Amino acid sequence: MKIGILTFSRTTNYGAILQCYALQRILQREGYNVSVINYKQPYIEIYSSPFSWGYIWIHRYHPGNIFRYIRSYQKRKNIYIKFKNFKKNFINDTKPCNNKNIPKDFDLYIIGSDQLWTKDHTGGKFDKIFFGYFKRNCNSKVFSYAISCNNNSIEFLLKRKDFDIKNNFQILSFREENIAKKVSKEYNTKARTDIDPTLLADENIWKPLINKEWSKKQYIAIYQARTIPGYENEIANKAALLANKMNIEVIDLSSYQYSPSDFVSIIKYAHCIFTSSFHGLAFSLIFNKPFYVFSLDDGHDGRCIDLLNRLDITHNIISIKSKVNEIKYLDYKRINSELDKLREHSINYIKSIEI
C-alpha cells in the first residue's frame, strides 16, 4: 500500500520537520511504502523561504519590519539550508506541488500531525488541503493522525458549515483530548486521540540523527517556540542563573543556528531543558531528561498541559514568573511505562490502517 503524508514539511521549524520524519519512519517500519507530499502551503512558504516577496507585501505598511527582514537574509538562508539538507538526507518526499496538483498515485493519505488546523499557521484562514479537499483517485482514502489546533481555531472551525469534516476522513485523530471531544460532540462522531509522532517510538529512531560531539559539553538547553510581551528573555535568564550556579553553559535552540539533527542531539545530552514548546517537552521525555515547561498563559499551553496530564507530571509546568533554583529529576521508570501505553494505543491504530 502506498501512503502519502500531508503535513508542514517545508517549514524551518524543528518540531514540524521532526514529527514529519518520525511519522514517516514509523509507517515505514510497519511495512508501508511512504512518501511525504511536498506541499507548498502558501503561508508557510512565505515565512520559511530565505526571501519572499509575499513577506514584503504583507508588511508593506511597516518599513521597519521590511528593513529587519532584508538585514537578516543571510541568517534565514543559513537556517533554510540546514533544513533543506536534513530533508534531503532523511525525508522521502515527492516533487513540490500546490493545491491544484496534489499527487493522485497514493492509495491512502494521512493528514497530520502538527497544528494543521490552527489557522494562525496557515495565514489566518483554514487550508482546505488539510481537511481533505483535493482531487484524488475515487478509491483512495483519507485518514488523519494527531492533528492539533488551538482553542480559538477549533471554536471558529466548529461554526463553519462548509467543511464536511465527518465524511472527508475515514478516521479522525487528534493530539489533544479536548479537541477530540469537541469534534465528537459537534459532528456526532467518534474522534480519537493519539500521541505526537515524535513520541511513537523509543529513542532508537533518533539514532541516525545523533551527533555525539554534544556529549562532550556541559550545558542547559533552552527552546522557546514563542514568547509573550515583557517576558521575551525570562526563560533564558532563568537558565543562565542556574547554569552559572552549576558552572556550565546555556545553549539556546531558539536561535535556530543548529540543524534539526543537532536539535535532537543537544536535548539528548543536556543536563536540563527549559522550554515553552510542545516539542521541547516531547524530546525531553524521549531522552528521559529533567525539564521545566513554562506556561505563558497565552492560549497555546494546552498541548503541553494535555500531555503532562496524561503522564501525571503536571508539576513540571510552571509559571513564567516562577524561580528555578535546582534541577528536579523525574521518575522515568513510571513515566516510560505510561508512555508505552500511549504508544501502544497509537501504534495499534497505525497497524490497523488499510484500504
d(CA 76, CA 150): 27
| pTM above threshold 0.75 | yes
CA angle 109, 111, 113 (to 5 degrees): 140
**What is the three-class DSSP state of 170?**
coil
d(CA 315, CA 339): 17
**What is the three-class DSSP state of 346?**
helix
Walk along the chain (355 residues) and give the pLDDT tens digit of each residue: 999 999 999 999 999 999 999 999 999 999 999 999 999 999 999 999 999 999 999 999 999 999 999 999 999 999 999 999 999 999 999 999 999 999 999 999 999 999 999 999 999 999 999 999 999 999 999 999 999 998 889 989 988 888 888 889 999 999 999 999 999 998 888 999 999 999 998 888 999 999 999 999 999 999 998 888 888 999 999 999 999 999 999 999 999 999 999 999 999 999 999 999 999 999 999 999 999 999 998 878 888 999 999 999 998 899 999 999 999 999 999 999 999 999 999 999 999 987 6
Yes or no: say if 153 and 202 are a contact pair by the CB < 8 Å rule. no
Domains of the chain with CATH codes: 2-199 (3.40.50), 208-334 (3.40.50.2000)
